[in-house]
Amino acid sequence: MGGAILCNRCCEKDERERSLVDESNALQIFGEDFPSLSLPPIIPQRSSKDLNQSLSPSPKSKTLALTPTSRTPKTPRTPKVEQGNIEDEEDGEGGSSELELVEGPIVIDEYFDFYDPYTKRAEVLPLTEEVKHQRPASGLAHRIDIGDQCSDCSPLDALTPKTRARCEVEVLTKWGVIAGKLIFSRVLTLTTMSSIYVIRAQQARVEKNSRVWRRIEGRARRVVSQAAHLAARVIEEPGDTLHNQWRLAQGGALSELFTTEYVDTLMILAKATSKLVAVQPVLVEARVPCRVFGDIHGQLRDLLLIFAAFGFPGSKEDNLNDLEMSYVFNGDFVDRGAHSLEVIGLLLALKVSMPDRVWLVRGNHEDRTMNARYGFWEECHDRLGDTFGRKTYDLFQTTFDQLPIACLVANKILCVHGGVGDGRWDLNDLRAVRRPLSQQELCSTKLRWVHNILWSDPIEDDREQRSQEAGPVFGVHESPRNTTAVLFGWDVTKTFCAKNGINMVVRSHQSKKDGIGVDVMHDNMLIRVFSARDYEGHGNDGAVLLVQPTDEGDAQCCDRPEQIMVRAQVLGSFAKATANASRGALYHLNVSQDSGH
């Protein structure tokens, strides 16, 4: 048990609870009675206006290295390159070798912030072609109408079956997008409205216990404060290491974050968060500016490094001008990593501390079966003991079953863990889903579409060009993951977005070997983000997405901005850094040997 103390008080009796930490050592934050947390990030926040007014990097330079001059080196300001989602091309062409520069509701920045914990260098780098997935050009699509038997330029009968199918899908998708926009309506269904009224009534009952909640909130804030202190130390550690090789002295990370009463604190946070998310919608909505995190999988050190490098939640430096930052954690918080308890405990503390700014979206690993198979149950049992481990684990599962399934950012971006599945559902269907959702319910035929929100994967537009894997890149197909999950193509994403009045889908769920943690696909309407570095030996960077309005002066820019910009922020892989260092050392050794001759 490591000195853990029996939990003999529940959340309802928490008025008599004593402080978990020494008040002189903990930085209390967030409430009116507490000073603001201050933790300057390595990469300082910059508004879209700043990016617009800055000069473009030299085309000859592929990296903009920073010269660290202090604890927080300044990142050179770079311009945005407007890459809106390509919805309805006038010429009807499917894809192109270059991402088109167009005005639209969403702008994807051509550059990303990069921080390497191994060398302590901050850089601004261009998005490479490796992360931009585009279909081969299909110039025939705009000249071919469905039902035509021939064309003066290229008869349909003369086309190969593969090319003909691709052209027909292009045309069908274009008409599907137009139809989807025509039938889209923001009118809520009767079922959805009744669900909203039920949620509001439940929330009102919770607010009646504000005094009890205040006590729990104070406990959560102290955990967040301790995490801020730990993040400040981690970012200053010499060198770097893999997450599973990182160790803390004097009781470890559990005691560091939650003190020796960590069992008590974890139980209280799990129980409080379960009640909190149960009275919030199954489809939550986040304002901008917002930072979206991908899979974390128990890699606490990576999470703390991301916080320290790009902005710690709740710190005054992480706000953009006078706009408070929101945070979306897009599922898969536990399993496989060495510190799943610390990660989920910290995320729950953040949620309790900032209930309307932190959103925890359910992933496929927020599931009892997955946790029993991939390590979270074993970690709870080994680190908390048989009795308290089982009890704490069950409380976490209760919380997982209540988590929201998706988050809508600025009414434009839908964040889901897996994907849109077959795309035959809409946001009102999701709003009407009742929780808790157990693993058995998610696997039922009735909720198979919800199961696919957690499990489905997109097909990369250029799959055939980049790999030997054959098969169409459009439509819906069986997934190798399991018998109920599917793969979906670019046409599914585009029609789904059109009929739901959104412009982009952000998903996680997949780590790419040697990748940067981000991929852009499906005509710029789908982005994958993954935050755990070197996941399962993949040698990948970890990334988050910064979403901010392009016009901070707009009074409605937080809720429904006219245009938003998405910029990747990347934490460098330890495996890549050490490999580069080894190659550099070998090069210098060879040079010195040649000089000796």
* HEC-encoded secondary structure of 340-386: HHHHHHHHHHHHHHCCCCEEECCCCCCCHHHHHHHCHHHHHHHHHCH
Amino acid 594 reads D
| CA-CA-CA-CA dihedral for 161, 162, 163, 165, to nearest 10 | 80
State residue 585's pLDDT score: 63
Segment among 10-24, 168-182, 485-499, 515-529 with least mean pLDDT = 10-24
What is the pLDDT averaged over residues 571-596? 75
DSSP 256: H
2 in Cβ contact with 251 (< 8 Å):
yes
Q: How far apart (Å, rounded) are the C-alpha atoms in residues 180 and 177?
A: 5
- 421 sits in the region (left: phi over 0; alpha: psi -120 to 50; else beta) called left
DSSP 443: T
522 catalytic? Reply is no
> What are the phi and psi torsion angles at 407 (to 5°)?
-135, 130
- Can you tell me which residue has the tokens 């009781």? 251
Nearest to 544 by CA among 453, 432, 415: 415
420 in Cβ contact with 505 (< 8 Å):
yes
State residue 46's pLDDT score: 67
DSSP three-state, residue 394: helix
State residue 429's pLDDT score: 94
State residue 581's pLDDT score: 86
State residue 294's pLDDT score: 98
State residue 194's pLDDT score: 61
What is the pLDDT averaged over residues 537-559? 82
Task: Name the token pair of 230.
Answer: 């730990």
Portion of the chain with pLDDT greater than 70, in percent? 71
Segment among 391-400, 408-417, 471-480, 540-549 with least mean pLDDT = 471-480
CA atoms within 13 A on the CB side of 70: 9
Nearest to 496 by CA among 478, 476, 511, 481: 476
88 in Cβ contact with 178 (< 8 Å):
yes
CA atoms within 13 A on the CB side of 357: 19
State residue 316's pLDDT score: 85
* Neighbouring C-beta atoms of residue 91, cutoff 10 Å: 8
DSSP three-state, residue 461: coil
State residue 96's pLDDT score: 40
**Long-range contacts of the stretch 59-64 (C-beta < 8 A, 24+):** 62/125, 62/126, 63/123, 63/124, 63/125, 64/123, 64/124, 64/125
Of residues 272 and 50, the one with the higher pLDDT is 272
Flag whether pLDDT at 79 surpasses 50: no
Q: Output the DSSP codes for 506-562.
A: EE-----TT--SEEEETTTTEEEE---TTGGG----EEEEEEEES-TT-TTTTTS-S
| pLDDT confidence band for 6 (50 / 70 / 90) | very low
Q: How far apart (Å, rounded) are the C-alpha atoms in residues 266 and 345?
A: 6
Whether cis (ω within 30° of 0) applies to the bond prior to 289 is yes
DSSP three-state, residue 420: coil
| pLDDT confidence band for 133 (50 / 70 / 90) | very high
Residues facing 284 on adjacent strands? 407
Flag whether pLDDT at 3 surpasses 50: no
Segment among 47-56, 108-117, 252-261, 581-590 with least mean pLDDT = 47-56
- Can you tell me which residue has the tokens 């700043």? 50
- Can you tell me which residue has the tokens 């330079």? 61
State residue 186's pLDDT score: 65
Domains of the chain and any CATH numbers: 11-42+188-581 (3.60.21.10)
Strands 106-108, 564-571: parallel, antiparallel or unpaired by DSSP?
Answer: parallel
Q: How far apart (Å, rounded) are the C-alpha atoms in residues 171 and 86?
A: 15
Q: What's the mean pLDDT when you consider all of the chain?
A: 80
Task: Name the token pair of 486.
Answer: 């599917």
What is the pLDDT averaged over residues 59-68? 35
State residue 375's pLDDT score: 96
User: pTM, whole model, 2 decimals?
Assistant: 0.81
- Can you tell me which residue has the tokens 């929330």? 203
Segment among 1-5, 388-392, 410-414, 469-473 with least mean pLDDT = 1-5
Q: How far apart (Å, rounded) are the C-alpha atoms in residues 583 and 585?
A: 5
Flag whether pLDDT at 362 surpasses 70: yes
State residue 277's pLDDT score: 96
Q: Output the DSSP codes for 15-77.
A: GGPPPSS-TTTS---SSTTSPPP----SS----HHHHHHSPPPPTT-S-EE----SSSPPPPP
Q: How far apart (Å, rounded) are the C-alpha atoms in residues 593 and 587?
A: 10
- Annotated catalytic residue within 365, 417, 451, 509: 365
What is the pLDDT averaged over residues 572-590? 79
Flag whether pLDDT at 22 surpasses 80: no
Q: Tell me whether residue 268 is exposed, middle or buried, using C-beta atoms within 10 angstroms of its C-beta: 0 to 12, 13 to 18, 19 or more.
A: buried
- Can you tell me which residue has the tokens 């193509």? 489
Flag whether pLDDT at 405 surpasses 50: yes
Flag whether pLDDT at 475 surpasses 70: yes
Q: How far apart (Å, rounded) are the C-alpha atoms in residues 319 and 300?
A: 23
Task: Name the token pair of 466.
Answer: 């980049």
Portion of the chain with pLDDT greater than 90, in percent? 57
| pLDDT confidence band for 250 (50 / 70 / 90) | low
Task: Name the token pair of 350.
Answer: 């953040």
State residue 9's pLDDT score: 38
Segment among 2-6, 281-285, 524-528 with least mean pLDDT = 2-6
| Packing angle, helices 300-310 and 210-236, rounded to 10 | 90
Strands 64-65, 121-126: parallel, antiparallel or unpaired by DSSP?
Answer: antiparallel
- Each residue's pLDDT tens digit, 196-208: 666 665 665 655 5
| pLDDT confidence band for 303 (50 / 70 / 90) | very high
Cβ neighbors of 330 (< 8 A, separation 6 or more) are: 292, 293, 294, 295, 361, 363, 407, 415, 416, 417, 506, 507, 508, 529
Of residues 460 and 45, the one with the higher pLDDT is 460
Flag whether pLDDT at 520 surpasses 60: yes
What is the pLDDT averaged over residues 344-368? 97
Q: Output the DSSP codes for 132-189.
A: B--PPP-TTGGG--TT-S--SSS-GGGS-HHHHHHHHHHHHHHHHHHHHHHH---PPP
Length of the chain: 597
11 in Cβ contact with 272 (< 8 Å):
yes
What is the pLDDT averaged over residues 56-60? 40
DSSP 453: H
| pLDDT confidence band for 590 (50 / 70 / 90) | low
564 in Cβ contact with 547 (< 8 Å):
yes
